[in-house]
Structures are given as structure tokens and as C-alpha cells.
Amino acid sequence: MNKPNYQEARVRTKNKVNVRHYEIEESAKQVGIGKKYYLRTYGCQMNEHDSENICAMLEQMGFTETNDVKDADLVLLNTCSIRENAHNKAYGMLGRLKHMKATKKDLIVGLCGCMAQEEGVVNTILTKYKWVNFAFGTHNLDKLPEIITKAIEENKQNIDVVSEEGDVVEDIPVKRASTIKAYVNIIYGCDKFCTYCIVPYTRGKQRSRRHQDILKEVNELKDEGYQEVTLLGQNVNAYGKDLDDNYGMEDLLEDVAKTGIPRIRFVTSHPWDFTDRMIEVIAKYPNIMKSVHLPVQSGSSRILKLMGRRYTKEEYISLFDKLRKIPNMHISTDIIVGFPGETEEDFEETLALAKYCKFDNAYTFIFSEREGTPACKLPNKVPEEVKEERLQRLNAVMNQYFLESNQKLLDKEFNVLVDGKNETGKTSLSGYLENNKLINFDGPDELVGKIVKVKVTEAKTWSLNGKLV
């Protein structure tokens, strides 16, 4: 058994990152034959992409996918630790699975993803959830075939989670959820250690993939007909800093743009590592989408300092202004309210920043204490009802700007990548503008996967309606 450990998870050495290649034992390829798996994914795009790897590995083992949990022989939860409600959802699902297991003794249940990297969670699984068959973390995702094989063969709980800085593993198979848009990892882990955040503990050291491997993947996707790639990382702007080839995010963006893939997106950008050259590259290439997610977290420099964000309000605004100068640039953000010590004045600074920036979109959160992070120890906790009230006041301001941002697009024509049939059923198709706004419109099914011109006819807070031109 390997157990994670908060102290080890915090360690960052100067050791070079090891690049490994995925391997699967021949015997593991028989383990799932005739069995079905059900995979539930929580959390961010990184987890969604990990799940695309998980599906492919399980299918190599012979398992087939089912969307009905009642039908499954193996249930795997790919979990998220970011806020308490993410934990609660996973524990709620485990509760349901316990009941299922009472009547279906052979059911195999496993936990992976960020929660599995948490010392506290693993201790809970070991003591209160002894019936969970196995757990593995984000650092040894590629060992899934081995870990599941062992859990099944030995028929006892197999916990295999390592708290280490992590390797880069190439050639893990992938079963992509879309044939139009694809995620491409460019950097794993995070070394920023914002004081509220669990990610540096659950995802390990910041480590970049070699650009040759990334470009190879993008070229293959392009050849397969993919229309869009999203370059993924907790902080994509730090790309390359851990390698010694003098090749950074600017260079990578430029080379990915030169592959000619029609659309390129990237998330997430920490303001700290945003360079002027990166802004020039974004502006220069039409296939780099004019959409940047630039989390600010707070509008108070005092709180930003407590959060360990490494920029002031003024520095954020100066970067924001430079980006806004790019025509049609869409800027979204993340904000946390109720961080320990946040006063009414601090919060009003956040409101003032929101009013200045008029963000095109945003995710707003109530501060959630994460075990093992420094923010847990900060004094002056904000009462729940104050946090709630601040969130509502902030959302009221922000939503108005999302609507205004959409109204500016009225009666204009835009390129839209049609990514599917509209789920609401009110129109037949939906897709995204270059600036990442969602639009619904009518059109024939053959347009799915194509880039078409659509005129905006109606603006709502969260989406647009349009008409095919």
C-alpha cells in the first residue's frame, strides 16, 4: 500500500522531471473482458481529459463503457478536491454505491483523481470505506491497469497513491469525448501554492511536456480533422520554465498556431507569468482564439497578498488593459469571496474591480477551507452568511456585464464552430464563437463539426441566439 502525505506533497526539488512511457502488461488486457465500467468525472478540464485516458485504458483491459451505473461491474469516480462541495458530491456517490454493493457483491468500486491524493481522504477510505476496492492518484494514472488487476486478483483493498513531485508520462491511450474539439496537456502540476488552493498538493510539481511531443499530438489531431485544441494546464503561462531548452509559452503558442489547426484555446493563465510577447503572439495569429481566462481572485491587494497571488490590483489591471486592446478580446475570470480577513472594504474593492473590468464571463466562488493549505490557519474567518451575501452582490454586478457583453454582439456576424445538436431542443444546433460565447441556432445536422457564419439575433446573460447566414 502507498499512502499520500501532505508534507511530502509540499516538497519541490530541483530534480529533473522524468519522462516515462505508458506500458500495459499483456495479462491486464484480459481482466475486463465481458465486464462493463461506469466512470463519473468531477472537477476541471484536466480531470475530464484524464477521464478520456482512463476510458481508453479500461477499454484496453477489455471493459466496455456503460452510462447506467446499475449495469456496471466496475465503477470509478474521478474526483475533485477544489471546494467542499466537490468532496460532498463524491462522498454522496460513494454512499449510493455502498447500497448497490450490498446487493451486488462482485461490484468493484474505485476512487481516483485529486481526492485520492489527499492524505485525509485516504485515511477516511481506509477506516470508514473499507469496502472501496482501490484508489490511485493523479501521479500514477498510467498504472491503472496494474492497480485494478491487483485489486481484482487479490480481492482486497488496494490503495496505491504516491505523494511525489510526479513524472511526465507519454503515450497513454485516449478515447476522446469529441471528434471536433480536443484537450492537449501542455503542463502538469502547479508550483504557485496560492494559500487557499489544494491543487499543488494533488497535482504535484509543475512539469512541462516536451514541445516536440505536444506539437506531434496537435499535428495528429489536425490530420484527424479536429477543428479545435485547448492547451491545458493549471498555469499554462509557466509552460517551459522547468525545461532547459529556452522555449516558453510564446514559442509554443506560435508553433501550435503554425500547424494550421483552425482554433486554439488555452486555460488557465495565471497573471503572474503573462508576458508582452505572449500578448503579441495572441494578437498576431487568427487561429489563436481571442479569449483569455485570467483569474483575479480578489480586487484587494491586501487580500491578494494573503492569497499568495504575487500581483497587486494595479498590476492585474495593467495586464487586463493590454489584453483588452486586442480587437474582440474576451476576458473571463475567477473570483473568491470570503477569504479569511476579507473586510467589507476589501470586498468593495473587488466590486469596483469587477465594474472596471466588465468581464465577459466569470466563475465566482465562496472561499472553502481545504485541509493542509496555509489559509486554514489564517485568522478572522468570514461568517457563512456574510460570504453568501457577498457572493450574491458580486453576481448581481457581474451578470449585468455578461449581458452587456453579449448585447454588443447583436446583429453582427461571427464564425461559429458547430459542436453539436442543441441540448435544450429549442433550436437544432449550438456552437461557440471565437470569443467562446455559446450560440444556439437552427441548421442542418451536416454542419456539426464545421465552422459557419452566424448572425446574432438575441442576447441573453449566458448565451446567444442566432441565425445561419
Q: Indicate whether 194 belongs to the interface with ligand SF4 (CB under 6 A).
A: yes
User: 41 - beta bridge partners?
Assistant: 78
Q: Which is nearer to ligand F3S, 50 or 250 (CB)?
A: 50
**CB 257, min distance to ligand SF4, A:** 25
By CB under 6 A, which span of 7-15, 128-136, 193-201, 411-419 interacts with ligand SAH? Answer: 193-201
Those residues whose C-beta lies under 8 Å from the C-beta of residue 154, and which sit 6 or more positions away, are none
Q: Which of 195, 202, 208, 268 binds ligand SAH (CB under 6 A)?
A: 268
Q: How far apart are CA 314 and CA 299, in angstroms?
A: 9
Contact in structure between 328 and 288 (CB atoms under 8 Å): no
Q: Taking Cα atoms as reference points, which of 235, 229, 293 lies closest to residue 260? A: 229
Residue 245 to residues 188, 241, 282, Cα–Cα distance (Å): 18, 9, 22
**Which residues between 128 and 187 bind ligand SAH (CB under 6 A)?**
none
Q: Indicate whether 270 belongs to the interface with ligand SF4 (CB under 6 A).
A: yes
Contact in structure between 320 and 294 (CB atoms under 8 Å): yes
Q: Indicate whether 365 belongs to the interface with ligand SAH (CB under 6 A).
A: yes
Q: How far apart are CA 65 and CA 400, in angstroms?
A: 42
Q: Taking Cα atoms as reference points, which of 253, 186, 184, 248 lies closest to residue 220? A: 184
**Which residues between 31 and 50 bind ligand F3S (CB under 6 A)?**
43-44, 46-47
Q: How far apart are CA 94 and CA 376, in angstroms?
A: 26
Q: How far apart are CA 48 and CA 32, in angstroms?
A: 22
**CB 194, min distance to ligand SF4, A:** 3
Q: Which is nearer to ligand F3S, 80 or 252 (CB)?
A: 80
Q: How far apart are CA 319 and CA 313, in angstroms?
A: 10
Q: How far apart are CA 32 and CA 58, in angstroms?
A: 7
Instruction: From the list ligand SAH, ligand F3S, ligand SF4, none, pick the one residue 72 interacts with, judged by a Cβ distance below 5 to 8 Å according to partner type.
Output: none
Instruction: From the list ligand SAH, ligand SF4, ligand F3S, none, pick the one residue 430 interacts with, judged by a Cβ distance below 5 to 8 Å according to partner type.
Output: none
Q: How far apart are CA 176 and CA 361, in angstroms?
A: 27
Q: Widest CA span of the chain, in angstroms?
A: 64
Q: How far apart are CA 254 and CA 277, in angstroms?
A: 10
**Which residues between 230 and 249 bind ligand SF4 (CB under 6 A)?**
234-235
Q: How far apart are CA 184 and CA 178, in angstroms?
A: 13
Q: Taking Cα atoms as reference points, which of 322, 382, 376 lies closest to residue 347? A: 382
Q: Which of 55, 77, 82, 278 binds ligand F3S (CB under 6 A)?
A: 82
Cα distance from N-terminal residue to C-terminal residue, the chain: 60
User: 236 - beta bridge partners?
Assistant: none
Q: Indicate whether 319 belongs to the interface with ligand SAH (CB under 6 A).
A: no
Q: Which of 80, 93, 141, 292 binds ligand F3S (CB under 6 A)?
A: 80
Q: How many residues bind ligand F3S (CB under 6 A)?
A: 13
Residue corresponding to grid cell 489536425: 222
Q: Indicate whether 336 belongs to the interface with ligand SAH (CB under 6 A).
A: yes
CB-based burial label for 106 (10 Å; 0-12, 13-18, 19+): exposed
By CB under 6 A, which span of 178-186, 194-202, 206-214, 407-415 interacts with ligand SAH? Answer: 194-202
Instruction: From the list ligand F3S, ligand SAH, ligand SF4, none, pick the one residue 193 interacts with, judged by a Cβ distance below 5 to 8 Å according to partner type.
Output: ligand SF4
Instruction: From the list ligand F3S, ligand SAH, ligand SF4, none, pick the one residue 367 interacts with, judged by a Cβ distance below 5 to 8 Å according to partner type.
Output: ligand SAH
Q: Which of 109, 115, 135, 199 binds ligand SF4 (CB under 6 A)?
A: 199
Instruction: From the list ligand SAH, ligand F3S, ligand SF4, none, pick the one residue 80 interacts with, judged by a Cβ distance below 5 to 8 Å according to partner type.
Output: ligand F3S
Instruction: From the list ligand SAH, ligand F3S, ligand SF4, none, pick the one residue 202 interacts with, judged by a Cβ distance below 5 to 8 Å according to partner type.
Output: ligand F3S
**Beta-strand (E) ranges in 240-358?**
263-267, 291-293, 330-337
Q: Which is nearer to ligand SAH, 8 or 334 (CB)?
A: 334
Q: Indicate whether 298 belongs to the interface with ligand SF4 (CB under 6 A).
A: no
Q: Indicate whether 190 belongs to the interface with ligand SF4 (CB under 6 A).
A: yes
Contact in structure between 360 and 405 (CB atoms under 8 Å): yes
Instruction: From the list ligand F3S, ligand SF4, ligand SAH, none, pick the one residue 46 interacts with, judged by a Cβ distance below 5 to 8 Å according to partner type.
Output: ligand F3S
Q: Indicate whether 81 belongs to the interface with ligand SF4 (CB under 6 A).
A: no
Instruction: From the list ligand F3S, ligand SAH, ligand SF4, none, pick the one residue 81 interacts with, judged by a Cβ distance below 5 to 8 Å according to partner type.
Output: ligand F3S
DSSP type of residue 286: T
Question: Which residues make up the interface to ligand SAH (CB under 6 A)?
Answer: 82-83, 196-197, 199, 234-235, 268, 270, 295, 297, 334, 336, 365, 367-368, 370
Q: Which residues bind ligand F3S (CB under 6 A)?
A: 43-44, 46-47, 80-82, 113-114, 198-199, 202-203
